[in-house]
A and B are shown apart, each in its own frame.
Chain A
Amino acid sequence: MSGLQAQGLNLRIGETPILKDVSLDIAPGQILGLVGESGSGKSMTALAVMQLLPGGSICDGTVSLDGDDLTTLTEAQMCDRRGCDVSMIFQEPMTALNPVQTIGFQIAETVTIHGGSRAEGAARARDLLARVGLAQIPLDRYPHELSGGQRQRVCIALAIALHPKLLIADEPTTALDVTTQAQILDLLKQIVTEEGMAMLFITHDLAVVAGLADEVAVMKDGAVVEHGPTAQLFARMQHPYTRALFAASRHQPQRQIQAAPQPLLTIQNATRTYRLPRPHLFAKPDALEAVSDVSFSLHRGESLGLVGGSGCGKSTLTRAILGLEPLQGGKIQLDGQSISPDMPPDVRGRMQVVFQDPYGSFNPRHRVRRILTEPFHLQGSPTGLEARIAEALTSVGLSPQDADKFPHAFSGGQRQRIAIARALITRPDLIVLDEAVSALDVSVRAQVLDLLADLQGQLKLSYLFISHDLTVVRAITDRVLVMAAGKIVEEGPTERVFADPQHSYTRALLAAAPKLPEAAA
């Protein structure tokens, strides 16, 4: 038997069962996409195949690679196999490489550790860099001198150095921009075909596997619930969980268009330059123009999207809109009143924000009650505070009793509801949603999107929805702005921009985005 056959993997860490009877089968030259939400056990499956499980794990079942059972090997024998027969790349290219050694050394090390000479290693490293599309990068570069996409290419180079029979890729593109993601996916697909290796591709994103994998396995709570050839699986979707996941991934909340003609938020010629850290005490700091000459307006009751890749300036713009940082040029007005770090309290109260990280949004030492009332800091608490707290919690689907709990008592989705409740409590006109659903699993994300759509209808809210995720922006916004290199490059009604992009950057962005197949009949 060639390729990978994992049979009946059962894994426990301490008393907690992690994997339940997981079986996978990948033929050479084939890609198996392993899909699941966080905690489904997909990464643990990869580590079980690599025999790199954390201490205290008890695993049984067999992992056979070209007919050899890896579970029967000693640790020393397994070291000979890793990098040689089976390799792995990880999610975070920023930290996956040793910062104090050159990329050449790190690629060559795969060769030298398996008995190659230094000269062979260096020659092979040179070839490999060219192979992953980095022919122009010298071997003596350090990881910090490369971009995230380039580092992920280096990781791929060192993983495929010895033509492994199996390559495991654990969310290799999750930390990357869509355009970079598309390039890395193409590269992986090409390598698998040319080298004839088997690949286990782990992701949370159904759309990514739809365009990449030959076969798909869907995992839930440590077990594979559905497994089959990609086209067939998406066509049939026999397991309810697969259907739910698919539906959640392309979920379109019910929204009514309610944008009024008068502008609520206007931004005119906003420019924000950053001082880079001083090289030393008396040096003049360098400057970086993060937002240059940006103008747009957001109408009352409208949902406006702002999309762009990392480093495009959208976070900087967000901070200026929230009045956290001053602008160097231009002005921002909310309903005719100027926004700046010194704006009056009543203006501040009319605009609220929901951040990305449901775990970092709250002071872990404060109860929900105190968290919710923080926006009243400048205005003073209104009369009937308790009723306001209860109202805010109820409107996001939580109960008024939750006010006395600490944030760690809630799940990620519930925390994001608390963050929304905090934003609602001052009855604002505008809520800035800064990647507000990006950290959530798709099923939770669908629920939060529904909640946002409901609230917008009920409370006549305006949303500024900032995200790198095109699917989400398409689902929740009326109009969209595309930002690149500090400038707005395209602006228009969401459906028009997605259907008929005008600017080349928008086109590239949309072409790069992975797409789900049309729903099965």
Chain B
Amino acid sequence: MRAGVQLWLGVLLTGAVMLAAAVSFIWTPYDVTQLAIAAKLQSPGPDYLLGTDHLGRDMVSMLMVGARTSIAVALVAVGIGITLGVPLGLWAAATRGSLTDEIVMRGNDVIFAFPSLVIAILITAVFGPSAINAIIAIGIFNIPVFARVARGAALSLWTREFVLAARVAGKRGARISAEHILPNIANLLIVQGTIQFSLGILAEAGLSYVGLGTQPPTPSWGRMLADAQTFFYGTPRVAVLPGLAIVLMVLGLNLMGDGLRDALDPRLRKTVQ
């Protein structure tokens, strides 16, 4: 019951932000590449629904286009994590106890022990700040997360009798992983995916805020907060709005993740009751 409410609230919030981002490709109230210094820091009104920023750009349009950037960065980073991390984790589980498993897992531990944002900062510092480098920096740290989740869940499945039965039928590690393991851990991966998605949004915002992520003139929520840094004492709106957008998106994703987990995993539902 409550899981359902969470899930739908999450889907609603995330969906609304995603929709705004999608619409921004074909329409925004104003063109965000057009500066209008004369109209800078306008209060909300009939012309500008949420006012303008310090360069006279419409806040609504900025938020819509910003959503696009933030979502793209986080989504691609999750994609990197899943495409590299999940096969690694499955491989480690299929060869559990072997040297391969040891090396994959120790390697994971090493990356896990890194302060991710610090390394992300280093990467962007060395290769120059850009959205692409931010994606890579965030994505790399998604790999061990997915590898761990995949391996942990796969390990318990490997002891199940249906996997033994498949081995008796002569199936090998890769085949069993694809046919028996992956479909049964997909739930967990989806849930972890929403969590990493939301962490990616936060990380992109942080990197862009310190000037190491998305570069001007491309708007992103973190970028907008960075721009607001010097104006927000006088005009709190320019800092509050992008922050709220981040909160709504991350909240939506987290609610969706929790709701999905409760809905997909009957074991968890039992412990909550």
Contacts and interface: CB of A to CB of B under 8 A. Distances in A.
B161 A363 contact: no
B169 A364 contact: no
Interface residues of A, number: 29
A345 B183 contact: no
A377 B170 contact: yes
A378 B184 contact: no
B37 interface: no
Contacts of B97: 275, 277
A277 B97 CA distance: 7
Interface in B242-273: 273
A174 interface: no
Residue from the set A55, A360, A364 with the largest chain B CB neighbour count within 10 Å: A360
B169 A375 contact: yes
A356 B161 contact: yes
Nearest to A276: B97
A360 B161 contact: yes
B110 to A, nearest CB: 12
Contacts of A361: 161-162, 165
B49 interface: no
A281 interface: yes
Nearest to A358: B161
Interface stretch (A63-71, A89-97, A347-355): A347-355
Contacts of B160: 360
Contacts of A363: 162, 179-180, 183-184
Nearest to B159: A360
A55 B167 CA distance: 42
Given A363-B184, A365-B184, A377-B169, A281 B102 contact: yes
Assign chain B's interface to a size class.
20 to 34
A357 B102 contact: no
Interface in A361-383: 361-365, 371, 374-378
Contact of A281 (B106, B170, B180): B106
B161 A378 contact: no
Nearest to B97: A277
A374 B166 contact: yes
Contact of B169 (A275, A357, A365, A374): A374
Interface string A70-86: 00000000000000000
Interface string A288-318: 0000000000000000000000000000000
Chain B interface secondary structure, helix, strand, loop or mixed? helix
A324 interface: yes
Contacts of A378: 169-170
Contacts of A270: none
Nearest to B163: A363
Contacts of B165: 353, 355, 361-362, 374, 419, 422
Given A377-B171, A378-B169, A355 B161 contact: yes
Contacts of B166: 374, 377
B164 interface: yes
Q: Is the interface of A mostly helix, strand, loop or mixed?
A: loop
Contacts, number: 58
Interface in B134-192: 160-162, 164-171, 175, 179-180, 183-184
Interface string B92-106: 000001000010001
A318 B273 CA distance: 40
B212 to A, nearest CB: 35
Nearest to B166: A374
A376 to B, nearest CB: 8
B161 A348 contact: no
A376 B169 CA distance: 7
Contacts of A362: 162, 165
Contact of A348 (B106, B170, B183): B170
Contacts of A55: 273
Most buried by A among B102, B162, B164: B162
A158 interface: no
B82 to A, nearest CB: 20
B175 to A, nearest CB: 8
A60 B171 CA distance: 55
Given A355-B161, A360-B161, A348 B168 contact: yes
A479 to B, nearest CB: 24
Nearest to B102: A281
A392 interface: no
B180 to A, nearest CB: 5
B71 to A, nearest CB: 31
B168 A353 contact: yes
A360 B171 CA distance: 18
Given A353-B165, A357-B161, A363-B162, A278 B102 contact: yes
Contacts of A356: 161
A436 B102 CA distance: 34
Contacts of B169: 348, 374-378
Contacts of B175: 377
B167 A324 contact: yes
B102 to A, nearest CB: 6
A14 to B, nearest CB: 11
Interface in B10-58: none
A216 interface: no
A322 interface: yes
Nearest to B181: A363
A459 B45 CA distance: 86
A360 B102 contact: no
A322 B106 CA distance: 32
Nearest to A373: B169
B184 A345 contact: no
Contact of B168 (A345, A352, A376): A352
A50 B61 CA distance: 65
A268 B164 CA distance: 24
A150 to B, nearest CB: 25
A4 B7 CA distance: 49
A277 B105 CA distance: 14
Contacts of A345: 170
Nearest to A345: B170
Nearest to B96: A277
5 contacts: A361-B162, A363-B180, A365-B183, A377-B169, A422-B165
Interface of A: 55, 275, 277-278, 281, 322-324, 345, 348, 352-353, 355-357, 360-365, 371, 374-378, 419, 422
Interface of B: 97, 102, 106, 160-162, 164-171, 175, 179-180, 183-184, 273
Given A278-B102, A324-B164, A353-B168, 14 more contacts: A345-B170, A355-B164, A357-B161, A360-B161, A361-B161, A361-B165, A362-B165, A363-B180, A363-B183, A363-B184, A375-B168, A378-B170, A419-B165, A422-B165
The 5 closest A-B pairs by CB, nearest first: A378-B170, A355-B161, A361-B161, A360-B161, A377-B169
